[in-house]
Structure 1
Amino acid sequence: MRTRISFSDVDMHGNVHNGRYVAYVEDAINEFLRDNGLAEKFDPRSSDLAYHVRKVEVLYHSPIGFEDVVDVTARVGRIGRASLTFEAEVRTVGAIEPAVQATVVWVCVDPATRRSTPVPEHVHAALGATAGGPLA
């Protein structure tokens, strides 16, 4: 997912607000699912399960600023019994090293009980086909 950093995303020093990276990563995960034909498996309108964010970890390596153009990429990092872990990177276009790396853990839950439940086999299989590949 390519985006240009807007003025509303930066702090008084001209760097992206730390929390904005989480929004970029969430958008990249959704784009990843859409690009791989998996979005409908996570759409609450077409599933009897929900996926809640359990954990977000962000590692900051270098600043990104206003008007920079960045690529935000995501992939499946791990598929657990009841959780999905996504890995993401944010890098300025042309940069070799990422400016930011993130890990997001989703837990599959039953909306009625709000308790974790196993990731359905069809979701596991579909995501498994994409797991371990390059960030895209």
Structure 2
Amino acid sequence: MTTLTVTHGAVEHTPVHFDDLDAMGILHNSRYAVLVERAIGQWWADRGVSFTGGRPTSPDAFNAVREYAITFHRPVTSVGDIAVHFWLAKLGTTSADYRFRVTSLDGADVYAEGRRVNIRLDPATMRPAPWTDHAREIAAPLLGA
């Protein structure tokens, strides 16, 4: 099997486990959000933006999902790795507007696609706060089509 290659954004492989499947043997709808979360989180963690010991390694790690929308195209019916292709449609002052596709590893099967908006928060006030210049540099490769 070939691996999905993309012209914009990033692709992370994420495992589907047996307990992610529902009684019908398909990936439960709520698990897609978890798979997208893990893919985006891993990408940022690989670049030093994560949590260690319960504390953010960067101010930009302190953010929350504001919006989430997904359209399902076909069910995932087995365990194993899948691909999550994601990119930034826009990086605003305090928001990050992601688009994503959940696909087979080669990209031939698109299981779902959607949108997710994160807001960077000030930990003291829990109000929106601007992304740092450092985050903007890291995020540059995610900006795309």
TM-score (norm 1): 0.80
Residue 80 (structure 1) shift = 0.8
In the alignment of these two chains, the number of paired residues is 130
Distance in 2 (alpha carbons) for counterparts of 1:60 and 1:118: 32
Higher mean Cα deviation, 117-126 or 5-14?
A: 117-126
Question: What are structure 2's unaligned runs of at least 5 residues?
Answer: 1-11
1:107 aligns with 2:119: yes
What per-residue deviation string (whole Å, max 9, x for no partner) do you get for residues 71-103 of structure 1? 122222210111012222111234424111122
Question: Contact 1:29 / 1:75 at 8 angstroms: preserved in 2?
Answer: no
Question: What are structure 1's unaligned runs of at least 5 residues?
Answer: none
1:78 aligns with 2:79: no
The aligned residue for residue 15 of structure 1 is 26
Report 1:1-136 matches (<5 A): 1-35=12-46, 37=47, 39-40=48-49, 42-43=50-51, 44-48=55-59, 50-67=62-79, 69-132=81-144
TM-score (norm 2): 0.76
| % identical aligned pairs | 25
Higher mean Cα deviation, 3-12 or 98-107?
A: 3-12
Instruction: Flag as ranges the 4+ runs of structure 1 deviating above 6 A.
Output: none
Q: Secondary structure at the match of 1:116?
A: coil
Residue 20 (structure 1) shift = 0.3
Distance in 2 (alpha carbons) for counterparts of 1:67 and 1:48: 35
The root-mean-square deviation of aligned C-alpha atoms, in Å, is 2.2
